[in-house]
Amino acid sequence: MLIAVTAEAPALEGAVSASFEDCRYLLIVETDDATFSAYKNDGPDSLAECIIEADCEAVITGSFQPDTFNVIADAMITRYNGYGYTVAEALEKMDRNALDFIRFATPDETCGSGTGECSCGEDHD
């Protein structure tokens, strides 16, 4: 399975970036054998296109700007918050279902429920 991870270094030991748009690198990791390709950030549009073209199943990052979030979400790619971990740690946590989903473009967006959780009854993943 291919997973995209925004990173501050082109290595599995690098930190997951706080923001998709401001990352230094994008790693596309084959989880079966931990091989990866690293791409320098040439802008969020090119990173999103790279993820979609590679047919990644998920993206691990810290946060998204709304426009980028919408491109990734519209492509039906799952989004995880791995900020605070190394790429390797985030991948391991994702494998154990221990990373939070990024459900909205901004942390305070809530579908109007006021609780930080969606209560509208629609599936937003």
For residues 62 and 80, the answer to whether their CB atoms sit within 8 Å is no
Both tokens assigned to 41: 């950030």
pLDDT digits (tens, 9 = 90+) for 31-55: 999 999 999 999 889 999 999 999 9
Residue 70 is predicted with a pLDDT of: 95
Q: Examine residue 49 and state whether it is found in any structural domain, yes or no.
A: yes
Q: Examine residue 35 and state whether it is found in any structural domain, yes or no.
A: yes
Both tokens assigned to 117: 């959780």
Both tokens assigned to 55: 């047919």
Q: Examine residue 121 and state whether it is found in any structural domain, yes or no.
A: no
pLDDT digits (tens, 9 = 90+) for 95-122: 999 999 999 987 555 454 333 445 455 5
Q: Which domain holds residue 79?
A: 2-101
Question: Structurally, how many domains does the chain consist of?
Answer: 1
- Domain containing 75 — which CATH number? 3.30.420.130
Q: Examine residue 122 and state whether it is found in any structural domain, yes or no.
A: no
Q: Examine residue 115 and state whether it is found in any structural domain, yes or no.
A: no
Q: Examine residue 93 and state whether it is found in any structural domain, yes or no.
A: yes
Global pTM reads 0.85
Q: Examine residue 7 and state whether it is found in any structural domain, yes or no.
A: yes
